[in-house]
Chains A and B, each alone.
Chain A
Amino acid sequence: MSFEWKYVRAPLSFLLKAIVLMIFIFPFLWMISTSLQTFQETLTFPPTWIPSIPQWVNFSTAMNAGPFLTYARNSIIVTFSVILIQVLVMIPAAYAFAKYRFAGKEILFSFVLLAFMIPGQVTFIPVYLMLADWGLINSLLPQILPFMANAFGIFLLRQYFMQIPQEIIESARLDNASEFKIIWKIMVPMSMPALATIALFSFVSHWNDYFWPLVMTDSAAVRPLTMGIAMLRETEGISNWHIIMAGNVVLVIPILIVYLFASKQIVKAFVYSGIK
């Protein structure tokens, strides 16, 4: 028995991995394939996998179907402002929750956890009304302001900070370092993997966000890429899947690029949290 298993186990595990990989990669391949097909090819059955002639023109058609430069600019401004502000808020908050003793700490932290658990769908109406009251609806701020504090990020970074030995901080205090310097020179460099992970999650969720801008915007000038691509569907009455998929490819590329650079740090974050 064991003799046979030895030869079966490795190929079996390879096969299972291959299946899981296919499940994850299939939608991407389907998207890329469709983005290069003609309208006719998208409708044929059985479906076409390799387009007869790659239709690169789909990309320019998609990009010319609306003010895509504006959309892209909005997406970039919103996503990067959100990440920047989140990081600036998250680091001191997590440091205080992890390393300080102060009155009301437990209650405040339970608010953070509460915020972490309430979905945006519950709060969007009051938030919309409030922002409308302030006259901010025709700007990018409604897509940035509500996300300044990232509850999940504060929680994760706090856990990470808690693992950093108190003696390192005390040592720095004895080295006459200010609290700001302790955060900047010691805590942040030591938690780079966690910060990269949080920033990446945040990037993906805000870059891909569709629901929130759908509620919070009412003109092309402030809409992000996701909405622009969704609107490709309505330009011709019937769904031009090849054009929509071309748009989606454009939307997804930045995520793939960022992931390529960040993946090393992310793997580190999980390995670190495992061994320390």
Chain B
Amino acid sequence: MASIEFVNVTQSFDKNVIIKDLNLKIEDGKFTVLVGPSGCGKTTLLRMIAGLDPQTSGSVLINGKDVTRIPPGQRGVAMVFQNYAIYPTMSVRENIEFGLKNNKVPKDERKRLVESISETVGLAGYLDRKPSTLSGGQRQRIALARAMVKKPSVFLMDEPLSNLDAKLRVQMRIELIEMHKKLGTTFVYVTHDQVEAMSMADTIVLMNQGQIQQEAAPEVIYRQPNNLFAAQFIGVPPMNIAELGIDNVMFGFRPESGVLSTEPLATHFQVPGTIVTREMLGSETIYQVKSEEQAYMIKCTEDRFVVDQEVYLGVEAGNLFFFGADENRIDREDGRFSSYLEALGGRSKVLVMRGQANG
């Protein structure tokens, strides 16, 4: 068990500054997911915790202790890599046992640990097989077992599920959540997949271009995104964003907040448009509605419309977001919020009237 803290950390490779003056505290025992587009520095952070690429300046603290000078093997961390990084010439048992041997764990103890862990991850019958004879999912389990058997205080995972097929990925996601619950250890998980982040995290750390955009629980990030980037990175399809036309302000709403109707609506924001595409996903349908200025993605639980149909798209006032010229979200409590909301309402009326006149 351990908390992790980054204090004024900077990381650069060959004069390329990846991360600059970053501060972050990862709480003890939490499942923290670092998420962001590729190149945002999330893996760099993970590797700094592991000690694989020590930071250029600043300090990394594990349990309040500066670990800058401590080599990777002695930090009490275990890491699972995207490509599993299994030792191919060793049997499953030797793979799991390798770290224990290096830490001089006595033979009987080793045998007991390896056998109990292989039971946990479901590899009991495979201990004497070579990894090359096992499937992708089983190799992933070797990597997990190898990490777990050392009883680390921090688990680091670098996109561990991205090499698995979609079905197995969903299953492993659940297993990882269960594993975290059982072990109660600090998990730091890196992914570019916001679905993985939303489904597994206690806390999401959303990053872009080496900077933390938002650090919050999944539901908070979804309902109160800090800025345009957070609003558009989290959620499928992402939040609809359009220009308000005043002070370079943008407004936005989630695809599921949009209401479609063939008649004009009583919602605060509304715009006439045409359905351009329709994606039927089973329980829900995603429509792309094109208005005069902009296309919007709308997620409906009912499948009532067809392509090329003329519709009205409406959004309730409570589901609208505004983002200032600095791209940060304007809070509901902010004085500007009500005036922007009013402006959008007024614009809606004009648009609907014009639509009716044309129609």
Q: List residues of A whose CB falls within 8 A of some B CB.
A: 165, 167-168, 170-178, 181, 185-186, 189-190
- Decide yes or no whether B60 CB sits under 8 A from chain A: no
If A171-B81, A173-B52, A181-B102 touch, whether A189 touches B72 (CB-CB below 8 Å) is: no
B74–A176 CB distance below 8 A: yes
Q: Which of B72, B74, B86 contacts A170 (CB 8 A)?
A: B72
A171–B79 CB distance below 8 A: yes
Interchain nearest-CB distance for A136 vs B (Å):
40
A175–B77 CB distance below 8 A: no
The bracket for how many chain B residues form the interface is 20 to 34
Interchain nearest-CB distance for A92 vs B (Å):
19
B79–A174 CB distance below 8 A: yes
- Decide yes or no whether B358 CB sits under 8 A from chain A: no
Number of A-B contacts (CB under 8 A): 61
Chain A residue nearest to B87 in the complex (CB): A186
If A176-B99, A176-B102, A177-B98 touch, whether A171 touches B73 (CB-CB below 8 Å) is: no
Cα A172 to Cα B102 in complex, Å, equals 10
User: Which residues of chain B are near A176, meaning CB under 8 Å?
Assistant: 73-74, 99, 102-103
Cα A173 to Cα B77 in complex, Å, equals 11
B135-166 Cβ-contact flags toward A at 8 Å (1 or 0): 00000000000100010000000000000000
Cα A144 to Cα B279 in complex, Å, equals 74
A173–B83 CB distance below 8 A: no
Q: Which of A165, A167, A168, A177 contacts B102 (CB 8 A)?
A: A177
Interchain nearest-CB distance for A165 vs B (Å):
6
B99–A168 CB distance below 8 A: no
Interchain nearest-CB distance for B13 vs A (Å):
10
Cα A210 to Cα B87 in complex, Å, equals 43
Chain B residue nearest to A169 in the complex (CB): B85
A174–B83 CB distance below 8 A: no
In order of increasing CB-CB distance, the 3 nearest A-B pairs are A176-B73, A175-B99, A167-B85
Cα A177 to Cα B50 in complex, Å, equals 14
Interchain nearest-CB distance for B190 vs A (Å):
13
Q: Which of A172, A173, A174, A178 contacts B87 (CB 8 A)?
A: A172
Cα A186 to Cα B85 in complex, Å, equals 11
If A167-B81, A177-B98 touch, whether A186 touches B52 (CB-CB below 8 Å) is: no
A167–B83 CB distance below 8 A: yes
B81–A175 CB distance below 8 A: no
Q: Which of B73, B82, B88, B89 contacts A175 (CB 8 A)?
A: B73
Cα A189 to Cα B90 in complex, Å, equals 9
Interface of A is mostly: helix
- Decide yes or no whether B344 CB sits under 8 A from chain A: no
Cα A190 to Cα B132 in complex, Å, equals 13
Chain A residue nearest to B79 in the complex (CB): A174
B87–A165 CB distance below 8 A: no
Interchain nearest-CB distance for A10 vs B (Å):
34
A177–B85 CB distance below 8 A: no
User: Which residues of chain B are near A189, meaning CB under 8 Å?
Assistant: 89-90
Interchain nearest-CB distance for B140 vs A (Å):
14
Chain A residue nearest to B81 in the complex (CB): A167
- Decide yes or no whether B78 CB sits under 8 A from chain A: yes
- Decide yes or no whether B238 CB sits under 8 A from chain A: no
User: Which residues of chain A are near B89, meaning CB under 8 Å?
Assistant: 186, 189-190
- Decide yes or no whether B245 CB sits under 8 A from chain A: no
7 other A-B residue contacts (CB within 8 Å) besides A171-B79, A175-B150, A177-B98 = A167-B82, A171-B85, A172-B98, A174-B52, A185-B87, A185-B98, A189-B89
User: Which residues of chain B are near A174, meaning CB under 8 Å?
Assistant: 50, 52, 72-73, 77-79, 99
User: Which residues of chain A are near B98, meaning CB under 8 Å?
Assistant: 172, 175, 177, 185
Interchain nearest-CB distance for A18 vs B (Å):
37
B85–A173 CB distance below 8 A: no
Cα A175 to Cα B102 in complex, Å, equals 7
A177–B52 CB distance below 8 A: no
User: Which residues of chain B are near A170, meaning CB under 8 Å?
Assistant: 50, 52, 72, 79, 81, 85
User: Which residues of chain B are near A175, meaning CB under 8 Å?
Assistant: 73, 98-99, 102, 146, 150
